[in-house]
Chain A
Amino acid sequence: MRIDMLKSALVLALLAAATTSALAAGSEADFKAAYAAAEAANKEAGTMRNQWTTTAAKLASAKKEAAAGDFDKATASAKEAEALAKASIFQTTSEKTRWKEMEIR
């Protein structure tokens, strides 16, 4: 009975350790993917000559949070950076024609 209990405890401990490790690894991988996507979008905004300061700030936060090991927060920041970069791309594309609406004629 005692050996069975020990065995169960060991299995649970191993399972818990494996789960934690899998979660942590997943979280870091999530961050890396989110950061790469954000960087790519911001680079595209750069080629369009319209990057936003807030995108750069969010990318910097993401990097800092990842360095501190807070991958959940870092992933969230990277996703925000990607959303901002995509908004700046949308703005650039849309303004290619919309600027004329404001023109003095």
Chain B
Amino acid sequence: MNVRSAIHFAATALAFTVLTFAGAPPAAAADTVDPVADARAFKKYFTDKFPKVKLEDFVNGPYSMDAGLHKQWEEKEQFPPYEFALEKGKEMFSKPFKNGKTYGDCFPNKGIGIRQNYPYFDEKDGKVVTLELALNRCRETNGEPPFDYKKDDMAALTAYMAFTSRGKAMNIKIPNDPRALQAYQKGKEYFYTRRGQLNFSCATCHVQSPGERIRAEVLAPALGILNAMPIYRSQWSGMGTISRRFTSCNSQVRGVPLKPQDDEYRNLEYYLSYVSNGLPISGPGARP
């Protein structure tokens, strides 16, 4: 057995040990789904953990956690690395499709200043619709091929739409439909479920350890984490969408990512956005 195999076996054994013997028996689960109480508790958790960080500053991710990084970020914002994507997105947004229609024709208010309302629950379809999904549906309705969900054109379009919504409070609604509540609950479950060989959940990094370093990176808090999307990430040397963020997180914990916009990711985005209601849209963002 080589060293790599030994590490794999050791990690697996560790995962088993943690799973089998960790901590106290499961706490009594709250069977009722109460998104309002969840959002309140979510905000309280982070504001208690970081009493010096203003609520609206959590959307700045690692920059809200570390004074040195915050200073670097302020300087970076003079010439933001997402600027090229923003300009490209603006141009794409106004350029008509072959049939003469534009993206604006697919959205309320011609698509300007509406980022804070996504994702929403489509009662007709019975599923969550994200902004990325709505953009590709708009393209397909107008006879255009869909874009890759993770970067490039999709990131440029969502960057522009986020920019026109900057400062607006995230405003996700859960309609009086049991399917909507179920989608929210499934998103929550996904967020807290450990996966991958490293046995991490989204919460392991972004609830238990925000502000801590994982190698050279400072982990972002989950509160407001999607308000800054899409982001230019130095690590990626480019822009990335929410789909890119979710799939790359899964890979980093050695889990096989699902397909972008699979139901699980849409529900996760619904949950995470809902618990950040009231915090301002700050996208597009930049991250180390």
Chain A contact residues, CB within 8 Å of chain B:
46, 49-54, 56, 58, 76, 80, 83-84, 87-88, 90-92, 94-95, 97-105
Contact A54 B197, beta carbon cutoff 8 Å: yes
Q: Among the listed B23, B197, B264, which residue makes an inter-chain contact with A84, where contact means beta carbons less than 8 Å apart?
A: B197
* Chain A residues, CB < 8 A from B15: 87, 91
Instruction: Point out the residue from B42, B208, B255 that lies within 8 Å of A51, measured CB to CB.
Output: B255
Residues from chain A with Cβ under 8 Å of B42 in the complex: 104
List the B side residues contacting A97 at CB < 8 Å: 26, 29
B99 within 8 A of A: no
Interface size class of B (residues with CB under 8 A): 35 or more
Q: In the complex, what residue of chain B is closest to A98 when comparing beta carbons?
A: B26
Closest to B45 in A: A104
A80 contact set on B, CB distance < 8 A = 5, 8-9
In the complex, 21 of the A-B residue pairs with CB atoms within 8 angstroms, ordered by the A residue number, are A52-B196, A52-B256, A53-B251, A76-B1, A80-B5, A84-B12, A87-B12, A87-B16, A90-B19, A91-B15, A91-B199, A92-B195, A97-B29, A100-B192, A101-B26, A101-B27, A102-B203, A102-B208, A104-B41, A104-B45, A105-B30
Q: Given contacts A80-B9, A99-B194, A103-B188, is CB(A49)–CB(B264) below 8 Å? A: yes
Bound-state CA distance A79–B189 (Å) is: 31
Separation in Å of the B264 CB from the closest CB of chain A?
Answer: 7
Question: Are A84 and B8 in contact, with the CB atoms below 8 A?
Answer: yes
A61 to B: closest C-beta gap in Å:
9
B207 neighbours in A (Cβ, 8 Å)? 102, 104
Please give, as numbers and ranges, the residues of chain B lying within 8 Å of A53 by CB-CB distance. 196-197, 251, 254-256
A95 contacts B45, C-beta separation under 8 Å: no
User: Do B19 and A94 have beta carbons less than 8 Å apart?
Assistant: yes
Q: Which residues of A contact B204 (CB under 8 A)?
A: 102
Instruction: Tell me if B29 and A95 are in contact (CB < 8 A).
Output: no
Kindly state the separation between the CA atoms of A100 and B45 in the bound complex, as whole angstroms: 16
Q: Are B201 and A102 in contact (CB under 8 A)?
A: yes
Complex CA–CA separation, A88 to B1 (angstroms): 21
CB nearest neighbor in B for A58:
B8
Q: How far is the CA of A95 from the CA of B195 in the complex (A)?
A: 9
Is A95 touching B193 in the complex (CB atoms < 8 A)? yes
Give the distance in Å from the alpha carbon of A76 to the alpha carbon of B4 in the complex.
13
Shortest beta-carbon distance, A66 to chain B, in Å? 16
With A58-B8, A80-B5, A87-B16 already in contact, the answer to whether A100 and B27 are too (CB < 8 A) is yes
A95 to B254, alpha carbons, bound, how many Å? 16
Q: Which residues of A contact B29 (CB under 8 A)?
A: 97, 100
Which residue of the partner chain A has the closest CB to B27? Answer: A101
